[in-house]
Structure 1
């Protein structure tokens, strides 16, 4: 369904920014959204008010593979579908926007803020992760109150940190196999 809506936007020319997406781009976005969904929905550790998962690692990898904007679409769709299917409907909308922004922040560091730095993706992932922690904490304050949100924040910090570490391991493995250099977006591939 996501592909149909996105493709119709391109074909109808309703949004100038969407015209840059080709069928190949839509396919890659859809595949990464599916991988993010799988890593979020199936590889999770339930907790009292949600769950920890490996989806954030796939989000960071999607930004490296697709770039910021395309990775943001894949991240938002894959993560929010996992919330919807997983029974956490109240988190679908906040997740959509938070994961979208996480990917955009990381992509901005890779392509615009620090395009020539060697570990620009890592700085972007940390900054995006900090945004994610603050944004989810703000939503948790609205949902559960200040005290409970503060109690839940260390778990989010651990999940975000673990995702960045897991992504670093994946990037190393993908680089050594040659996969990263073949398929990563050109800005990420240049200096990793």
Structure 2
């Protein structure tokens, strides 16, 4: 199985992805964070992601993690504001929620995994934003989130802990697809001109 082959390299894969994530945000897109609108949107959206993530938390004792509905906000932000704000708010907002609520050991992983989720959803929907594209983008983003946590959990907890977390992570992904993707699509259609002027 491909996942079994990749599992021993999970740490190196996440490190490589983390490097690409930070390079994208703070090297390729650094001008966005030098503009007032970029700083404001990034900060506000990251705070909203953190608040929604903390609003409902169901602990998972086996892996010392928790189930939340933060993916709905990660995907919503990505659909509305594109890959850069989606990547920043998804990663930093979710990581901040982990730290604030006592799950700091998950924050580095969450930062990268949710950041990638926000980037992928934002990138695809910035190219085309019809319902089918938004649906496919959020499904892919959710799948990457589930896969990302699964690989880390295999490395940290073994197969038993990783498999135990899959249903909860799938639930988070589905919530994000339905709420974040659905609401994002509706809002974007209604105020598209405003969003275009804010997109950075």
Does the TM-score normalized on the shorter chain lie above 0.5?
A: yes
Greater RCO, CA 8 A, separation 6+: 2
Match of 1:9 in 2: none
Match of 2:168 in 1: 155
TM-score, normalization by structure 2: 0.75
Relative distance call for 1:140 and 1:17 in structure 2 (3 A) is same
Report the secondary structure of 2:110's partner residue: helix
RMSD: 2.4
Structure with greater helix share of residues? 2
Relative distance call for 1:159 and 1:75 in structure 2 (3 A) is same
- Note the residue ranges of structure 1 that are not aligned, 5 or more in a row: 1-13
Match of 2:85 in 1: 70
Inter-partner Cα distance in structure 2 for 1:45 and 1:58: 17
- 4+ aligned runs moved over 4 Å, structure 1: none
Does structure 1 retain, via aligned residues, the 8 Å contact 2:89–2:118? no
**What is the deviation of 1:111?**
3.0
**How many residues were matched structurally?**
170
Residues 93-148 of structure 1: per-residue CA shift (max 9 Å, x gap):
11000011111111222234xx2754322211111111111110011111211122
1:43 aligns with 2:75: no
Inter-partner Cα distance in structure 2 for 1:45 and 1:108: 30
1:57 aligns with 2:72: yes
Inter-partner Cα distance in structure 2 for 1:69 and 1:75: 10
Inter-partner Cα distance in structure 1 for 2:60 and 2:193: 38
